[in-house]
Structure 1
Amino acid sequence: MKLHAADILVIFWLGILTVSTVKGSVASQIAPRSSCVDLSTQQLDIRNLAKYEMQHIPVKAVMFITRRGIKICMQPDLKWVQNAIKFLDKRRPTPKPKSKPKSKPKGN
């Protein structure tokens, strides 16, 4: 059986189309966000914490993110966890109110 140049080109383009379609559908999927499943019991030094996120699903937890980017999940009802949240909230800079631009005096 002989393949003509047109047949080879059609097979080639079908292969390219199939690969790009599969690659595009896999790449377009959204990666899941980090979530807490296991909760740590060890108390952390709040000076090393950068921020936190509250989570309700699959478990109720507070995810602390350290200055190095390490994520650690804790039970939200622990007293030191609540104190750490208050500490981080106080440390968070409050946005400055935008001042109105000064209007130029009208020349007479």
Structure 2
Amino acid sequence: MKLHAATILVIFWLGVFTVHMVKGSAGSQPMRNLSCVSLSTKQLNIRNLINYEKQQVPVNAIMFITTKGIRICVSPNQKWVQVAMKKIDQKRTTKGK
């Protein structure tokens, strides 16, 4: 009877350890929640943009993040997009000083 209870206890702890290990390894890999699948053609107001992310899959795009938290995808080949990215980078470097 004691051997049976000990066996069940060992199996239980192995199960808990295995679940913990799987959860840890899966959770340690960052996953992007949002990605661009279509691109906006409108030029955005640069003053309303606070951040951006570069993306290459499924489409080559820049995802701008506005002051309200809205994410808008645009083509990185447009001149105004390059200017906006530089402005955001400049804001980052001046805040870091």
Please, what TM-score do these two structures have when normalized by structure 2? 0.62
Alpha-carbon offset, residue 72 of structure 1: 0.6
Number of residue pairs matched? Answer: 92
Percent identity (aligned)? 54
Alpha-carbon offset, residue 65 of structure 1: 1.5
Assess if the C-alpha contact under 8 Å between 1:50 and 1:65 holds in 2: yes
Cα distance change of structure 1 residues 23 and 84 upon mapping to structure 2, 3 Å threshold: closer
Please give the alpha-carbon distance, in whole angstroms, between the structure 2 residues aligned to 1:19 and 1:52: 36
- Per-residue CA deviations over 1:3-30 (Å, capped at 9, x if unaligned) read 6332232222222223222222322222
Q: Which runs of 4+ in 1 moved over 6 A?
A: none
Assess if the C-alpha contact under 8 Å between 2:36 and 2:63 holds in 1: yes
Residue pairs, 1:54-69, within 5 angstroms: 54-69=54-69
**1:26 paired to 2:26:** yes
Stretches of structure 1 that go unaligned for 5 or more consecutive residues are 99-108
Please give the alpha-carbon distance, in whole angstroms, between the structure 2 residues aligned to 1:84 and 1:28: 32
Please, what TM-score do these two structures have when normalized by structure 1? 0.58
Please give the alpha-carbon distance, in whole angstroms, between the structure 1 residues aligned to 2:62 and 2:7: 60
Structure with the higher helix share, 1 or 2: 2
